[in-house]
Every structure is written in structure tokens, then in C-alpha cells.
């Protein structure tokens, strides 16, 4: 399915009137001033999988118009954003061919599948969003940049301290091959907290390691680490949470309904804004390869009050 977004000027004149007016102004400008370079942009948004992308795209489009208002002869009509849904509209290969034919100014890849489908288009800058572990896909390509999905530990524990100030000991099970840097970063950024980190090399070890955390931690930190955090181990985490009255801190809202007490996760609108800024930088001449991958700058905290109540937690005032 293909959607065409038309970004319009703030004033909504009737279309014919708008065209006539702009045509008249254009003719006058052509006679009186030097014509500026064309600055209207064609952007293709490639979506892969069931992601909460609408909020991201909307924030991206709004921020882009703010940063780069459409102007110049080419932009008599506003920026065009064309959406391509993988799986429903096109397969990955067909999407790449179609995008190449459209020759857009920018590709916005939402999700892992989208990034995979456009990573071989090297002539068009690509900004990815909502992609976990993107470095495994991007490799050495220089036309790709984006926003990390990882939530910086500092941001997470700032929120924890804000709403659960009594939490001082944090238990975490991690696969050293995948998440040691995250654990180190947390310990480094929040020296006031005691991190009880237990390394696991397989999911089967998780229930046993959780037994070792009994009575030693105030909070169990869930990492986006496939070795220790997967459907096989989740029940163990939440069972531990209930049995030991220890809240689970998750990195996505999806775990709240499974039994996590709170989730500190990325803000989709902020991601859209960040992506718009990257796009603006690219449109103003900075090569994508020179733009470093950015971290999210804002987080969103969600609390499952049923769980906190069952666990007997005291939430600080102002908790969402």
C-alpha cells in the first residue's frame, strides 16, 4: 500500500486559489530576483513490520517542515513523503527497485526489515529508526545513519530514582557477549546504586541465577539481551518479581502487561524529531556518513499500578 503525504503551508487556501497565487508570485520573483536552488524534497518512508511508526513519521514530518520550510520553484508543491509498507505493499527487493526508480532525496527506514531492504541503495541517504542492533546491518556503509533504540542506562535509572527512590540495589542478569557495556555504563553513570550483575551464557541458566538474587536486590533490571531476555526466561523474571516482591524494570511498555512494574522506554515523538534533524543536516549538504548515530534524548516512563500495588511499592508523587 502506498500513501502520499502532502505537507502544506499553515494557511489552507482553496487549492486553485493557492496555485494561482503562487504562480503569480513565482512570475514576479523570476523577473525581479535571482532564483534560489530548488529545495523541495522527496522522502520515502519504508516501514517493516508492525511498529508504532505513525507517531514517528508524523513527528518527523512536522519537525522537518519547521527546520526546512519548503521554498523555491521546485517547492511550489510541499515536501512529498511516500510510504512503502513491506510485506503488504512490496517485498524487500521490489521495494529497493521501486525506491531506486523514485530517486528520492532521502529514505527513512523504520524497523529492521526496512533497513535490510534499503541498505544496498548506496546513492540515497538513509536514516533508520526503531532498529535494534543496527550496526549488524549497517556495517561499513557510509550513506546510512540513524537513531539508536537503546535507552541509555542513566536515563532509565534517573526515572527509577525519581519514582522509586527507595531502590538502591539493582539486580541484573546479562550475557557478557551482548550487554556488558550496558551494565558497565550503568554502574559508571549511577555510582549511587548497587548493581548485582550475574552473567549467563544461556537462557537455561536464568532461573538458577534468579534464585541467587533472592533477598539481595530492590529491583530487577531487564536488559534487551536475547540470551537472558526471551520468552523462555520472562516467566522466571516475573515469577521472581512476585515471589520476592521485587519490581521489574523493563525497557519496553510491552512487558508491563506481563508483570513488569515499570518501563522506561524511548519517546517516539522525540525519535521523529531527532530523525528530522538528521534529515535536515543531510539536505543542507552534510553527508550521512559524517553524521554520527544518535542516542535518544528523551524517555517515557510507564507504570503498571496494579503490579506496584500488589508488590507493595511506594511510588513517589507525580508518578504517571
**Residues engaged in binding other proteins (CB under 8 A):** 49-52, 111-112, 130-133, 149, 204, 207-208, 224, 226, 229-232, 235-236, 239, 251-252, 254, 265
Residue 300's SS3 state is: strand
Nearer of residues 74 and 178 to other proteins, judged by Cβ = 178
Residue 281 beta carbon to other proteins: minimum distance, rounded to whole angstroms: 26
DSSP bridge partners of 301:
264
Nearer of residues 70 and 222 to other proteins, judged by Cβ = 222
Residue 170 beta carbon to other proteins: minimum distance, rounded to whole angstroms: 19
Nearer of residues 116 and 276 to other proteins, judged by Cβ = 116
Residue 130 beta carbon to other proteins: minimum distance, rounded to whole angstroms: 7
Nearer of residues 7 and 183 to other proteins, judged by Cβ = 183
List Cα–Cα distances, 276 to 65, 66, 154, 250, 310, in angstroms: 9, 9, 25, 28, 42
Nearer of residues 236 and 246 to other proteins, judged by Cβ = 236
Q: How far apart are the first and last CA of the chain?
A: 37
Strands lying side by side in the sheet with 2-6: 2-6, 80-85, 42-47, 106-110, 126-129, 144-146
Nearer of residues 75 and 227 to other proteins, judged by Cβ = 227
Residue 221 beta carbon to other proteins: minimum distance, rounded to whole angstroms: 14
Alpha helices in 106-264 (DSSP H): 112-118, 135-138, 153-163, 176-189, 206-213, 231-244
- Give the containing element (helix H, strand E) for 42: strand 42-47
Residue 134 beta carbon to other proteins: minimum distance, rounded to whole angstroms: 9
Q: What's the CA gap between 191 and 193, in Å, rounded?
A: 5
Residue 114 beta carbon to other proteins: minimum distance, rounded to whole angstroms: 11
DSSP bridge partners of 262:
249, 303
Nearer of residues 102 and 133 to other proteins, judged by Cβ = 133
Specify whether the CB–CB gap between 88 and 1 falls below 8 A.
Answer: yes
Q: What's the CA gap between 63 and 317, in Å, rounded?
A: 33
Residue 188 beta carbon to other proteins: minimum distance, rounded to whole angstroms: 23
Amino acid at each position: 500500500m502506498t500513501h502520499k503525504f502532502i505537507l502544506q503551508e499553515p494557511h489552507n487556501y482553496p487549492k486553485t486559489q493557492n496555485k494561482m497565487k503562487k504562480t503569480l508570485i513565482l512570475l514576479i520573483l523570476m523577473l525581479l530576483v535571482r532564483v534560489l536552488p530548488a529545495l523541495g524534497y522527496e522522502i520515502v518512508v519504508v516501514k517493516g513490520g508492525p511498529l508504532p511508526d505513525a507517531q514517528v513519521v508524523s513527528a518527523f514530518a512536522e519537525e522537518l517542515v519547521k527546520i526546512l520550510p519548503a521554498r523555491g520553484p521546485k517547492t511550489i508543491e510541499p515536501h512529498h513523503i511516500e510510504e512503502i509498507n513491506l510485506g503488504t505493499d512490496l517485498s524487500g527487493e521490489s521495494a529497493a527497485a521501486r525506491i531506486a526508480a523514485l530517486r528520492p532525496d532521502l529514505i527513512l527506514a523504520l524497523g529492521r526489515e526496512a533497513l535490510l531492504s534499503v541498505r544496498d541503495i548506496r546513492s540515497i541517504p538513509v536514516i533508520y529508526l526503531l532498529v535494534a542492533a543496527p550496526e549488524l546491518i549497517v556495517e561499513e556503509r557510509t550513506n546510512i545513519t540513524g537513531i539508536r533504540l537503546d535507552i541509555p542506562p542513566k536515563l532509565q535509572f534517573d526515572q527509577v530514582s525519581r519514582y522509586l527512590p527507595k531502590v538502591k540495589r539493582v539486580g541484573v542478569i546479562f550475557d557478557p557477549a551482548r550487554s556488558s557495556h550496558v551494565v558497565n555504563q550503568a554502574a559508571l553513570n549511577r555510582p549511587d546504586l548497587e548493581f548485582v550483575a550475574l552473567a549467563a551464557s544461556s537462557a537455561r541458566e536464568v532461573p538458577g541465577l534468579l534464585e541467587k538474587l533472592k533477598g539481595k536486590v530492590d529491583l530487577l533490571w531487564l536488559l534487551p539481551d536475547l540470551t537472558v531476555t526471551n520468552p523462555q526466561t520472562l516467566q522466571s523474571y516475573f515469577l521472581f518479581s512476585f515471589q520476592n516482591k521485587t519490581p521489574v524494570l523493563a525497557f519496553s511498555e510491552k512487558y508491563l502487561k506481563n508483570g513488569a512494574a515499570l518501563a522506561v522506554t524511548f519517546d517516539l515523538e522525540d525519535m521523529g524529531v531527532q530523525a528530522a534533524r538528521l534529515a535536515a543536516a543531510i539536505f543542507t549538504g552534510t553527508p550521512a556518513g559524517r553524521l554520527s548515530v544518535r542516542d535518544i534524548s528523551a524517555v517515557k516512563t510507564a507504570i503498571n499500578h496494579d503490579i506496584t500495588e500488589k508488590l507493595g511499592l511506594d511510588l513517589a508523587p507525580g508518578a504517571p
